[in-house]
């Protein structure tokens, strides 16, 4: 052993690096995750972990198994992990990120790198132009042609759009590191981002561009101009950096934020240091980012805001597939400043997860009553996410539903049914006297399952007649209703509920995604049920009183 033993931060850093490379090497997500968890743990351990390792006590730390312990011992004894060094020799994160960006599998890309002895985009381009790609086993004329074309074209779109809960933190962390502003699709709260951008004001662009290139999140820069660069993350997600002259910051921000259709419709953009100045010079009212979609020019109304929301009406607990107890969910909601929270656990016919029957719902009612005594004046509502069965009947008897404060009705299985089947199923469910709100109406799972075929117009018409509500579900992979459907619902006169469908106390934080999606659909506080005080919510629990 040379030098002092590595401190906890250094050990954690090495384990993180190991986890990232294991992931790139295709070791399976479980192994990488175990190393990341160990790294987090070691970082937050107050005692020097190197000593524990020396004394053979590393396993006393939770989550450290024999595999990780062996590496820790190696690291403490020799100052390095041999396998990590090997992986670092073999795997170029730049190539992995590029592969994902170009639509070539990481495995294939790393093989190309190994065979050709290249580690960067520059070297890869050179080798490709020299016609050496075909030296790689498995790369035939077809793949070579494709690779050459993609290398020349430099596609901008992410191979797979990034969900909002990942896209926003990603641009925000980069913006913060560079002292800039997050832009692109995430600034408009687009459900799945294709275009991520950061705009920085800079007299001198070079230092900013260099800082950008050196960020840990950016593994390759595929385009570089005097005031612009396109970087790629290890996941292959492209991020555009714009280093704007300070007097043009507003101009570049408007350009980097709006959809291409929206920006195009504005015509030539005037120069201004801030966005307000751009709109003033254009002679049109300021438009919040969420509404900067195809050609919106009107005077926006005051949109719903997170602070308007007084409660969450769709959450789960350990009674079904949630992680927190009734009381813990209530406490977390109260800490968020809410006045009320509806506990809406699943019912039995969902099948895939545990659900409550009539008896379960009633027993849960007692626990909710107890929790309410401890949480008053905050109120937990007795609710359900009642499954809509295949025949359109509800999965709880009417007398139980009638006791509840809030009934979310949801279609789960059978999302691939025909338009006729699904519409009939939902409309039949709405015949019940005891429905408050229709949950995640299109059943979509972004990047996994397309929206179902339900006739939303017919459903909205019925809900409007009944004075019942429809949900904007805030789970990042649902966001259902989506923006344009929120607009349709509002136009049909249907009240909106913004919900998180939280399965943990942390999940309550997704309210900002539900709110943003409602804003993209033009929703105001008046359009939304859970901006109202509790008595008003209860008064309309089964439709317009």
Residues of this chain that bind Zn ion (CB under 5 A): 385, 410, 501
Angle at which helices 205-214 and 164-178 cross, to 10°: 130
Minimum CB distance to Zn ion, residue 348 (Å): 14
- Closer to Zn ion by CB, 240 or 395: give it: 395
Backbone angles phi, psi at 222, to 5 degrees: -95, -20
- Closer to Zn ion by CB, 217 or 320: give it: 320
Candidates 484, 475, 535; CA nearest to 315 is 475
Minimum CB distance to Zn ion, residue 398 (Å): 21
- Closer to Zn ion by CB, 158 or 404: give it: 404
Residue 448, CA distances (Å) to 180, 241, 451 in order: 33, 30, 10
- Closer to Zn ion by CB, 385 or 395: give it: 385
Minimum CB distance to Zn ion, residue 493 (Å): 25
- Closer to Zn ion by CB, 320 or 432: give it: 320
Candidates 509, 470, 481, 478; CA nearest to 338 is 509
Candidates 1, 80, 5, 2; CA nearest to 47 is 5
- Closer to Zn ion by CB, 132 or 503: give it: 503
Candidates 58, 22, 59, 16; CA nearest to 39 is 16
Minimum CB distance to Zn ion, residue 45 (Å): 36
Minimum CB distance to Zn ion, residue 409 (Å): 10
CB 160 within 8 A of CB 131: no
Minimum CB distance to Zn ion, residue 403 (Å): 20
- Closer to Zn ion by CB, 275 or 387: give it: 387
CB 193 within 8 A of CB 164: yes
- Which value, to the nearest 10 degrees, does the dihedral of the CA atoms of residues 245, 208, 257, 174 take? -150
What residue spans of 444-532 are helical by DSSP H? 456-466, 483-491, 511-520
What residue spans of 258-294 are helical by DSSP H? 260-266, 275-282
Minimum CB distance to Zn ion, residue 370 (Å): 23
| Centroid of chain to Cα 426 | 28
């Amino acid at each position: 052993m040379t030098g002092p033993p590595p401190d906890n931060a250094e050990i954690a850093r090495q384990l993180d690096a190991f986890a990232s490379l294991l992931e790139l090497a295709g070791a399976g997500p479980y192994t990488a995750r175990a190393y990341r968890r160990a790294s987090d743990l070691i970082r937050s351990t107050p005692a020097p972990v190197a000593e524990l390792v020396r004394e053979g006590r590393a396993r006393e730390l939770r989550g450290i198994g024999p595999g990780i312990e062996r590496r820790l011992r190696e690291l403490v004894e020799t100052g390095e992990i041999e396998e990590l060094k090997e992986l670092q020799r073999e795997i170029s994160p730049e190539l992995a990120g590029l592969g994902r960006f170009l639509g070539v599998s990481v495995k294939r890309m790393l093989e190309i790198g190994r065979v050709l002895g290249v580690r960067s985009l520059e070297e890869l381009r050179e080798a490709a132009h020299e016609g050496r790609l075909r030296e790689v086993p498995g790369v035939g004329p077809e793949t070579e042609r494709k690779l050459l074309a993609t290398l020349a074209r430099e596609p901008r779109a992410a191979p797979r759009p990034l969900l909002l809960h990942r896209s926003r933190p990603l641009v925000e962390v980069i913006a913060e590191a560079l002292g800039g502003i997050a832009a692109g699709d995430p600034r408009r709260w687009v459900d799945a981002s294709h275009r991520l951008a950061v705009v920085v004001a800079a007299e001198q662009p070079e230092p900013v561009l260099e800082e950008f290139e050196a960020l840990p999140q950016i593994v390759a820069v595929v385009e570089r101009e005097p005031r612009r660069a396109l970087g790629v993350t290890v996941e292959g997600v492209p991020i555009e950096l714009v280093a704007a002259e300070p007097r043009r910051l507003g101009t570049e921000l408007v350009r980097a934020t709006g959809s291409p259709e929206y920006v195009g419709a504005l015509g030539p953009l005037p120069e201004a240091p801030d966005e307000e100045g751009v709109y003033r010079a254009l002679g049109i009212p300021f438009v919040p980012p969420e509404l900067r979609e195809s050609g919106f020019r009107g005077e926006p109304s005051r949109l719903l805001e997170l602070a308007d929301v007084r409660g969450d009406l769709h959450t789960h607990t350990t009674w079904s597939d949630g992680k927190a107890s009734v009381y813990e969910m209530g406490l977390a909601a109260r800490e968020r400043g809410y006045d009320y929270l509806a506990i809406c656990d699943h019912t039995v016919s969902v099948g895939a997860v545990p659900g409550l029957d009539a008896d379960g719902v009633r027993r849960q009612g007692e626990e909710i009553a107890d929790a309410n005594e401890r949480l008053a004046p905050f109120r937990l509502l007795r609710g359900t996410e009642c499954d809509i069965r295949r025949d359109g009947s509800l999965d709880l008897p009417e007398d139980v539903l009638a006791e509840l404060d809030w009934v979310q009705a949801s279609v789960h299985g059978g999302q691939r049914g025909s338009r006729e089947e699904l519409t009939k199923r939902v409309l039949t469910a709405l015949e019940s006297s005891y429905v408050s709100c229709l949950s995640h109406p299109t059943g979509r799972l972004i990047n996994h399952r397309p929206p179902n075929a339900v006739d939303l117009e017919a459903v909205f018409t019925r809900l409007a007649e009944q004075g019942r509500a429809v949900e904007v579900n805030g789970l990042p992979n649902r966001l259902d209703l989506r923006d344009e459907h929120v607009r349709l619902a509002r136009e049909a006169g249907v009240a909106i509920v913004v919900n998180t469908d939280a399965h943990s106390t942390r999940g309550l934080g997704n309210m900002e995604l539900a709110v943003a999606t409602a804003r993209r659909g033009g929703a105001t506080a008046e359009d939304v049920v859970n901006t109202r005080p509790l008595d008003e919510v209860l008064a309309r629990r089964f439709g317009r009183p």
